[in-house]
Amino acid sequence: MRTLTVQVESHLTESGSEAPFVLDLDHKVGGERTASVGGGPPVIVVCGPGNSGKSLFSRTLLNTLLKRYKKVGYLDTDVGQPEFNTPGCVSLHIIDKPTHDLTILCLKTPEKCFFYGDVNCQKDKNVYLNSILSLYDYFHEEFYQPNEINDPGRKMMPLVVNTSGWVKGAGYDLLVKMLRHISPTHVVQIRVSAESKNLPKGLFWLDENHQRSSNSIEICAAVKDSSSVSMRKDAAHVLRDVRIIAYFRQCLPQELAIATYKDLVRNLASAPAHEISLSRIRVIELHCEGNDNISHSLKAKIVGLGISTSVPPSPANASSNCVGLGFVRAEDVSKDLMYVITPVPLRILEKVDIILKGCIEAPACLLQVQEIDATDS
């Protein structure tokens, strides 16, 4: 029997001491979608209420899988607190190196990403779900199917899916739809001491019309979170800002010494802005009424940079591939130009023809960059 032992952190065990649990990797892959592979690597979905330790467990699991597999897929569906990307994105990552210090922020370029445009997945449930399912389908097609004709040496890789903490009401319905579509080999459910916050036990997503083989594993997050709701919200807001700042820090030379907050603002203000022709882009407004009229101001906004696919993108679907984020420093309609700060390479930026305008709040340092630009002009 092939097994995988995962060393669980102490706050995820009832005893308070570190304890391993074992995944049976020989579990038969269920469902019509994966029946053709005859039992491939595990597809593991980690779920549970907010602040239960899902992200920490997912990264621990990811590191453990990398001891057995050269590469592991990581589908991050938490738009509020993603692991490897900026807030407001649903993304698929292909990871080939473990992260040894799980307390350090770690940004990675995704294999494929959709810009959801908000940190609250309740804003547009259909777009949120469609983004997740589209990314899973892409993973399944590209990395979970044997291809003996075109790529005989290609090996299938496992997948870890980290979910949001929205598990009640409509959030529960979305999770059920997600699980039925993905048909995972394993579902790891992290449970908190407040039973009313937990998901139902067992294979809760299955019914008489969806009878697919799967393993359900339950872990108790025994340590209670004593912080208030307001404190958790404040901490989440700070972490989101840190991720966004770290992302745009990539616009500056890595060797550049930045010792203070003022250094960061000054250097970002002096960073060269890329020029994008207004006439060649389409602006899509997310999570708000309106159309794609270019007259809607984008100045001082964080936007998603998209590239068209064969399906025309709109707020109702997730068909535009987001290649990164940009901060719009200025617009000059008379010159038909938009000036954007972004770490996206120029060769990719030249293909951008969609601007996705969401509701991601810009950190204070970026807004101060905008103020410096206004003063200089």
Read off the tokens for 372.
């410096």
Q: Is pLDDT larger for residue 32 or for residue 48?
A: 48
Predicted confidence (pLDDT) at residue 256 exceeds the cutoff of 70? yes
Over residues 323-336, the mean pLDDT reads 93
Predicted confidence (pLDDT) at residue 225 exceeds the cutoff of 70? no
Interatomic CA distance for residues 243 and 105, integer angstroms: 8
Over residues 230-240, the mean pLDDT reads 76
pLDDT of 367 reads: 85
Interatomic CA distance for residues 5 and 14, integer angstroms: 18
DSSP state string for 22-57: EEETTSPPPSHHHHTTTS-S-EEEEE-STTSSHHHH
Confidence bin at 170 (pLDDT 50/70/90): very high
Confidence bin at 150 (pLDDT 50/70/90): low
Read off the tokens for 243.
């991720």
Interatomic CA distance for residues 301 and 320, integer angstroms: 19
pLDDT of 214 reads: 80
Provide CB contacts within 8 A for 177, sequence distance 6+: 129
Interatomic CA distance for residues 311 and 95, integer angstroms: 29
Strand partners, 76: 91, 162
Predicted confidence (pLDDT) at residue 41 exceeds the cutoff of 60? yes
Dihedral, CA of residue 102, residue 103, residue 105 and residue 108, to nearest 10: 0
Least confident of 55-64, 68-77, 233-242, 316-325: 316-325
Confidence bin at 149 (pLDDT 50/70/90): low
Q: How many CB atoms lie within 10 A of CB 234?
A: 12
Interatomic CA distance for residues 285 and 356, integer angstroms: 6
Confidence bin at 16 (pLDDT 50/70/90): very low
Least confident of 116-120, 290-294, 317-321: 290-294
Strand-strand pairing, 159-162 and 72-76: parallel
Under a CB-based contact definition with an 8 Å cutoff, are residues 65 and 46 in contact?
Answer: no
3-state secondary structure of 302: strand
Predicted confidence (pLDDT) at residue 293 exceeds the cutoff of 80? no
Q: Give 196's DSSP letter.
A: G
- 146-160, 232-246, 359-373 — most confident range: 232-246
DSSP state string for 322-344: EEEEEEEEEEEGGGTEEEEE--S
Interatomic CA distance for residues 187 and 167, integer angstroms: 14
Predicted confidence (pLDDT) at residue 171 exceeds the cutoff of 80? yes
Least confident of 167-181, 219-233, 241-255: 219-233
User: How high does pLDDT run on average in the chain?
Assistant: 81
Read off the tokens for 194.
């407040």
Read off the tokens for 144.
């979970």
Q: Is pLDDT larger for residue 227 or for residue 102?
A: 102
3-state secondary structure of 161: strand
Percent of the chain with pLDDT over 70: 76
pLDDT of 294 reads: 43
Percent of the chain with pLDDT over 90: 47
3-state secondary structure of 212: coil
Least confident of 25-29, 89-93, 237-241, 331-335: 25-29
Read off the tokens for 344.
């996206």
Enumerate the domain spans of the chain. 3-221, 240-376
Roughly what angle, to the nearest 10 degrees, separates helices 170-182 and 125-143? 20
pLDDT of 32 reads: 30
Q: Does domain 3-221 have CATH number 3.40.50.300?
A: yes
- Which residue matches tokens 């995944």? 23
pLDDT of 334 reads: 93
pLDDT of 27 reads: 41
Predicted confidence (pLDDT) at residue 191 exceeds the cutoff of 50? yes
Identical fold between 3-221 and 240-376:
no
User: What CATH superfamily classification does 240-376 receive?
Assistant: Pre-mRNA cleavage complex subunit Clp1, C-terminal domain (2.40.30.330)
